[in-house]
Structure 1
């Protein structure tokens, strides 16, 4: 399966093709993938994410999934890449990982049938749909700051074409420890359905990204943690959690909260039955 990566090479943005351990530019220059400075593999005009899709996540929250999916929007200013730092703002502490598969659009797409959606997909990449749940109360519905704050949308390392999304594992690791272990087969709505659903009213352009949902066990991470998301056939996305040096301003806007909604979402929906576990201290 071909894999394409965008990197910084000698100060320029370059499209490369993976060749084993190397990345090869169009002019023949080579660099070890492990030594490259990665960029998001695509440049989307929008990033759209489904709220809930994985059966294990629905069961974890002990809720009934609706008959049709619902979505939120992550601004493109939240984009990040393989090897990039995810910044938890000073004054916040409920930053959760969410390992996912990202769908990348390849052709302008509007009002198509699910059966035809595959022809409009360029490929797939790995995503980590980080959520800053400290703002969940104040951004209820929109999820703007929760999911759209700077650095909270890592994608990569590359765009893989000709990938069959059936029966693939999705695994997330924190400091090398397995914390999420799901499968694309537990998704209620598959990749083609999601594309066709959004494209009924929103035109999707080449490079646009749809995030397809996360398995159970999204939990908070702290500065110093290293988070890896691995999807079978798509590779491994790695990010370091850092603390933002500037505190959230207190002279404007709503402030971070720790309501039942915040805690139950950050800790998996059943915190009241097993006690509140404070987030670990920074490493």
Structure 2
């Protein structure tokens, strides 16, 4: 099942994909169907309890071809960093490119959504703890980069710089997350292609690794890295990051003033 979270009629609704439309699954309008153009798309994630933040873990250099593209040796253990939830925006949203930067690129990534409390989970059992998958576009601003192994906060933690969606696809509907084609287009031109089978550290390995020293909770995210083929994006560019069987995430770059960058 493909699940979405949208805003319509001044309210936030849970919805599912139904024959090319959105069917509302919550509130007084439950069962009503809407076109994709009638709504504002939100990150397809259920809210977490108010007493805790959502943990968003992201991987650097998790595809050997991308590490080679950047002239780095493939890492021997996962290179991970934490992102703030304010970076997340929905399908068809706008990402701000500060006017004073010279290189800002997309990163098409499979995002893993944790389904239940995960602590010291063995690799063989790891996929049992996954609720589903979605597409993430984890933009990076190269100007602020000091160290690929420990990215500066401004590289990866800017508001609006992580579109995610449009769907949360149930784990049961993605039988092999390690054999999914990825691609990115910029203004309709194909710029990136890859496959999740080329990850250095696959999804079960990542869940085993993280859960060995920290507890993951329902709704937490793991962004699993991107293959090679990243290019600079300018204001007005429309970027579509696609993952086979998961979805096509559309995002547009918009300019920003230096004073509020």
TM-score, length-scaled by structure 1: 0.83
**8 Å contact kept, 1:126–1:230:** yes
**8 Å contact kept, 1:72–1:143:** no
Q: What is the aligned partner in structure 2 of residue 269 from structure 1?
A: none
**What is the DSSP-based 3-state SS (H/G/I as helix, E as strand, rest coil) of the residue aligned with 1:157?**
strand
- In structure 2, do the counterparts of structure 1 residues 242 and 232 end up closer, same or farther at CA, with 3 Å as the change threshold? same
**8 Å contact kept, 1:90–1:248:** no
TM-score, length-scaled by structure 2: 0.90
**8 Å contact kept, 2:108–2:137:** yes
Q: What is the aligned partner in structure 2 of residue 65 from structure 1?
A: 74
Q: What is the aligned partner in structure 2 of residue 271 from structure 1?
A: none
**8 Å contact kept, 1:93–1:222:** no
Give yes or no for the alignment of 1:7 onto 2:6. yes
Deviations, residues 144-184 of structure 1 (Å, cap 9, x unaligned)? 11000010111100100121213211000100000100001
1:154 to 143, 147, 163: 163
Q: Matched residue pairs, number?
A: 248
Once the 2 structures are TM-superposed, how far is the Cα of residue 190 of structure 1 from its aligned partner? 1.1
RMSD between aligned alpha carbons? 1.7
Once the 2 structures are TM-superposed, how far is the Cα of residue 138 of structure 1 from its aligned partner? 8.8
Once the 2 structures are TM-superposed, how far is the Cα of residue 132 of structure 1 from its aligned partner? 1.4
Structure 2 spans left out of the alignment, 5+ residues: 49-53
Moved more, 173-182 or 30-39: 30-39
Moved more, 89-98 or 7-16: 89-98
Give yes or no for the alignment of 1:217 onto 2:251. no
- In structure 2, do the counterparts of structure 1 residues 41 and 218 end up closer, same or farther at CA, with 3 Å as the change threshold? same
1:167 to 135, 155, 179: 179
Question: Which structure has the larger Rg over C-alpha atoms?
Answer: 1
Once the 2 structures are TM-superposed, how far is the Cα of residue 140 of structure 1 from its aligned partner? 7.5
Q: What is the aligned partner in structure 1 of residue 40 from structure 2?
A: 37
Deviations, residues 71-101 of structure 1 (Å, cap 9, x unaligned)? 0111111111100100012322321101110
Matches within 5 A, 1:240-251: 240-247=252-259
Cα distance in structure 2, aligned partners of 1:170 and 1:244: 29
